[in-house]
């Protein structure tokens, strides 16, 4: 069969000019525009001389706040990419009634696969991980995460994954298998191209990054709390962070193993999931969903935490039922590992297995319901301020209840036999993911932006963005519920059923409204940056917050806190404010000490550079480059291990200078509040 390899094949593997889709204008133009954009930014950076700043302050930074911001930036950019995919699909389904529409099937299939992959792995994940990175150390009252350099490695590996997925736009192709690459379709015999390899290697590499982030945050929460920050005094967001990252640590290895098996099938002719030689495709469904269901809670738990913070702050009250909230969070953390079969009720496990997993799926809705009631009771009797973050929170509660109810509906096996893989299912998970995770991410973004950058976001544009997104969401996804009940299945490139057509058109209109929401969000950013002086937050506490992140200035100094705060109860910062007011602030100067902080390190960036090379080479079967890439990655770690100084010292005088400003502003704030 295979002829003796030519020199070219040895040098370039499967790569040649046919990999560039000259005959397909849409991906080529899209890729070209993105490439031109990146180039333009790069040139601008170099010409303006920002490169050193970028390198020293961001790329090599191991500061959790910077890394958090970069995660969120990555997520936002990928949101635009995934959003473009969504717009294209909605337009296709609106016009492809008894016609081929404008997207050929092989292209349409790549788009829905890329859309799902990008939205879950490169939007939702980095967004929530970014927010956790940014805020959790501040809320715990500590100076950094447990493993700062590893944190940077994690981020850059995630970026590598995103880069590879987007590279598939211009070099080669992406998977046509859906976002979970079910075999046998994803096996070599049915997907001989590089699409599935792009998919699998991007996820393997970014998966390492996610695992690293998970380990880091678990350790941070469990081992690095400030003095007096007992478990039952941690802000809710820290609890949900703990739960979510425990799930990452326990579930992502399952994804890694499953994808590794698929890759072994594809690269070395193994028979895990093939139709031949005893392979079992159903085992793939089983394993991937054993990761997949915990994954949805990995995403939504941090969002629950954000809403808890937001609801309590903007209601001016402590969170109602804090302990039941903690219990519900940890219950979800465990139960989410017991329901995965509800994703393949129809695969034939039989009534006994289906019944048990169906019941478990209904049980998991209970702690979720507890949370909803707690938020409602927190609001009850509070003095609610409907600032933008609070709007997202309230919008979430309404939307998520609907999504949860439809979830419980499809968790009933007989009902699921009707609704499985229909548009109803598509509507369900967008209902929970957009209404839960994305609304949560936006709420967190609006809420903590002033903390990260030192100025608030424009409220008018923020509210516009909320209302457009909120209504756009319903106009888009309610029709999908209807279409699902009319029998429309998911992932259709064209269809011949007249009853579905109107709903697809409405959904496309909804998508337009949603897009206006996104534009408003961008406008909000632009307007706020332009008016940043007017929006400046000098107090560090723009929302009258309750937890420790508001106890330091905005943006916080690298070391976050001049002293590790001493915590005496829940809502630590709130108590400090009250105490300060009652005793009137003592004005004596505290004694400052030198602070040791971890030094910047290019390890993450260099490591990701080699990972990119390695991933690309693996996808295209360029074996010598694979070896080179792995050697490079190993060398990077050895060089890092050889460093002699991994910390630098901020002298006490400098700490004092920075902290004095902060204290002064805070005194003004407190005395002002006292006067009212």
Chain residues that interact with Cu ion, rule: CB under 5 A: 293
Q: Which of 430, 528, 518 is nearest to 466 (CA)?
A: 518
Alpha carbons 254 and 88: distance in angstroms, whole number: 32
Residues in the chain: 676
Comparison of 101 and 279: residue with beta carbon closer to another protein? 279
Residues 342, 371, 546, 666: which binds ligand HEM (CB under 6 A)? 342
Residue found under tokens 């981020």: 155
Footprint (CB under 8 A) of another protein, residues 451-480: none
Verify binding: residue 639, another protein, rule CB under 8 A. Answer: no
CA dihedral 461, 467, 473, 474 (to 10 degrees): -170
Comparison of 587 and 645: residue with beta carbon closer to another protein? 645
Stretch that binds ligand HEM, among 30-38, 418-426, 499-507, 662-670 (CB under 6 A): 418-426
Residue 544 falls in which region: left (phi positive, over 0), alpha (psi -120 to 50) or beta:
left
- The interface partner of residue 225, options being another protein, ligand HEM, Cu ion, none and the CB cut-off 5 to 8 Å by kind, is another protein
- The interface partner of residue 261, options being ligand HEM, Cu ion, another protein, none and the CB cut-off 5 to 8 Å by kind, is another protein
Footprint (CB under 6 A) of ligand HEM, residues 425-444: 425, 428-429, 432-433, 436-437
φ and ψ at 234, to 5 degrees?
-70, 140
Alpha carbons 555 and 455: distance in angstroms, whole number: 9
Footprint (CB under 8 A) of another protein, residues 130-159: 142, 146-147
What are the Cα distances from residue 307, in Å, to 151, 312, 415, 429? 25, 8, 31, 19
Is-cis flag, bond preceding 555, omega within 30?
yes
The maximal CA–CA distance of the chain, rounded, in angstroms, is 87
Residues 144, 416, 446, 537: which binds ligand HEM (CB under 6 A)? 416
Residues 27, 294, 407, 450: which binds ligand HEM (CB under 6 A)? 407
Verify binding: residue 300, ligand HEM, rule CB under 6 A. Answer: yes
Stretch that binds ligand HEM, among 39-47, 200-208, 413-421, 606-614 (CB under 6 A): 413-421
Radius of gyration of the chain (CA): 25
Binding mask 353-382 for ligand HEM (x = CB under 6 A): --------x--xx--x--------------
Verify binding: residue 276, another protein, rule CB under 8 A. Answer: yes
- Residue with the closest Cβ to ligand HEM? 407
Comparison of 222 and 359: residue with beta carbon closer to another protein? 222
- The interface partner of residue 272, options being Cu ion, ligand HEM, another protein, none and the CB cut-off 5 to 8 Å by kind, is another protein
Footprint (CB under 8 A) of another protein, residues 73-102: none
- The interface partner of residue 676, options being ligand HEM, another protein, Cu ion, none and the CB cut-off 5 to 8 Å by kind, is another protein
- The interface partner of residue 9, options being another protein, Cu ion, ligand HEM, none and the CB cut-off 5 to 8 Å by kind, is none
Number of residues that bind another protein (CB under 8 A): 88
Residues 69, 229, 483, 595: which binds another protein (CB under 8 A)? 229
- The interface partner of residue 516, options being ligand HEM, another protein, Cu ion, none and the CB cut-off 5 to 8 Å by kind, is none
Q: Taking the complex as a whole, how short is the minimal distance between the CB of residue 429 and ligand HEM, in angstroms?
A: 3
Q: Which of 444, 436, 417, 449 is nearest to 477 (CA)?
A: 436
Where helices occur in 15-63 by DSSP H, the ranges are 25-47, 51-53
In contact, 284 and 314? CB cutoff 8 Å: no
Verify binding: residue 146, ligand HEM, rule CB under 6 A. Answer: no
In contact, 129 and 78? CB cutoff 8 Å: no
Helices 351-379 and 388-410 cross at an angle (nearest 10°) of 160
Alpha carbons 278 and 76: distance in angstroms, whole number: 44
In contact, 158 and 209? CB cutoff 8 Å: yes
């Amino acid at each position: 069969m295979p002829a003796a390899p030519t020199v070219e094949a040895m040098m370039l593997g499967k790569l040649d000019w046919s990999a560039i889709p000259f005959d397909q204008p849409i991906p080529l133009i899209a890729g070209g525009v993105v490439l031109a954009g990146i180039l333009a930014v790069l040139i601008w950076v170099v010409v303006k001389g920002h490169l050193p700043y970028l390198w020293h302050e961001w790329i090599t930074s191991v500061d959790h706040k910077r890394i958090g911001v970069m995660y969120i930036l990555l997520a936002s950019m990928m949101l635009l990419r995934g959003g473009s995919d969504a717009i294209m699909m909605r337009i296709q389904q609106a016009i492809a009634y008894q016609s081929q529409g404008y997207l050929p099937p092989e292209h349409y299939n790549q788009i829905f696969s890329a859309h799902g992959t990008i939205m879950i792995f490169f939007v939702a994940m980095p967004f929530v991980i970014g927010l956790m990175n940014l805020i959790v150390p501040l809320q715990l009252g500590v100076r950094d995460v447990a493993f700062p350099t590893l944190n940077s490695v994690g981020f850059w590996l995630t970026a590598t994954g995103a880069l590879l997925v987007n590279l598939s736009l211009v070099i080669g192709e992406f998977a046509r298998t859906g976002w979970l690459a079910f075999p046998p379709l994803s096996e070599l015999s049915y997907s001989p191209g590089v699409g599935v390899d792009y998919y699998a290697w991007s996820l393997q590499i970014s998966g390492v990054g996610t695992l690293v982030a998970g380990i880091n945050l678990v350790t941070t929460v469990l081992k690095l709390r400030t003095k007096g920050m007992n478990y039952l005094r941690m802000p809710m967001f820290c609890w949900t962070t703990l739960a979510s990252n425990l799930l990452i640590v326990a579930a992502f290895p399952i994804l890694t193993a499953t994808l590794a098996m698929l890759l072994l099938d594809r690269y070395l002719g193994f028979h895990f999931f093939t139709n031949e030689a005893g392979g079992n495709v159903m085992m793939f469904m089983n394993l991937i969903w054993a990761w997949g269901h915990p994954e949805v809670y990995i995403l939504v738990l941090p969002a629950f935490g954000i809403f808890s913070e937001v609801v309590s702050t903007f209601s001016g009250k402590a969170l109602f039922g804090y302990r039941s909230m903690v219990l519900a969070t940890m219950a979800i953390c465990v139960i989410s590992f017991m329901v995965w079969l509800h994703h393949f009720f129809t695969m034939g496990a039989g009534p006994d297995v289906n019944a048990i997993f169906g019941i478990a799926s209904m049980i998991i809705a209970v702690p979720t319901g507890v949370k909803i009631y707690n938020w409602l009771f927190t609001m009850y009797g509070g003095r609610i301020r409907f600032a933008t973050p609070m709007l997202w929170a309230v919008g979430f509660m309404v939307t998520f209840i609907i999504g949860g109810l439809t979830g419980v509906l499809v968790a009933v096996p007989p009902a699921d036999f009707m609704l499985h893989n229909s548009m109803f299912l598509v509507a369900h998970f967008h209902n929970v993911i957009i209404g839960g995770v994305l609304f949560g991410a936006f709420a967190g973004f609006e809420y903590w932006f002033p903390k990260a950058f030192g100025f608030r976001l424009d409220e008018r544009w923020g509210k516009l963005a909320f209302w457009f997104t909120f209504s756009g969401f319903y106009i888009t996804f309610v029709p999908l519920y209807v279409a699902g009940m009319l029998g429309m299945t998911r992932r259709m490139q064209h269809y011949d059923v007249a009853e579905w057509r109107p709903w697809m058109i409405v959904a496309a209109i909804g998508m337009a409204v949603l897009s206006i929401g996104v534009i408003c969000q961008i406008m909000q950013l632009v307007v706020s940056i332009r008016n940043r002086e007017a929006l400046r937050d000098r107090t560090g506490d723009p929302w009258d917050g309750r937890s420790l992140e508001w106890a330091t200035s905005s943006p916080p100094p690298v070391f976050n806190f001049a002293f590790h705060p001493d915590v005496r109860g829940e809502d630590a910062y709130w108590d400090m404010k009250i105490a300060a007011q009652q005793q009137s602030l003592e004005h004596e100067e505290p004694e400052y000490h030198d602070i040791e902080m971890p030094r910047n390190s290019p390890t993450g960036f260099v490591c990701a550079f080699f990972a990119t090379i390695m991933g690309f080479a693996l996808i295209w079967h360029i074996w010598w480059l694979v070896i080179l890439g792995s050697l490079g990655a190993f060398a990077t770690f050895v060089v890092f291990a050889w460093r002699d100084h991994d910390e630098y010292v901020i002298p006490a005088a400098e700490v004092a200078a920075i902290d004095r400003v902060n204290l002064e502003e805070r005194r003004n704030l407190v005395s002002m509040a006292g006067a009212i």
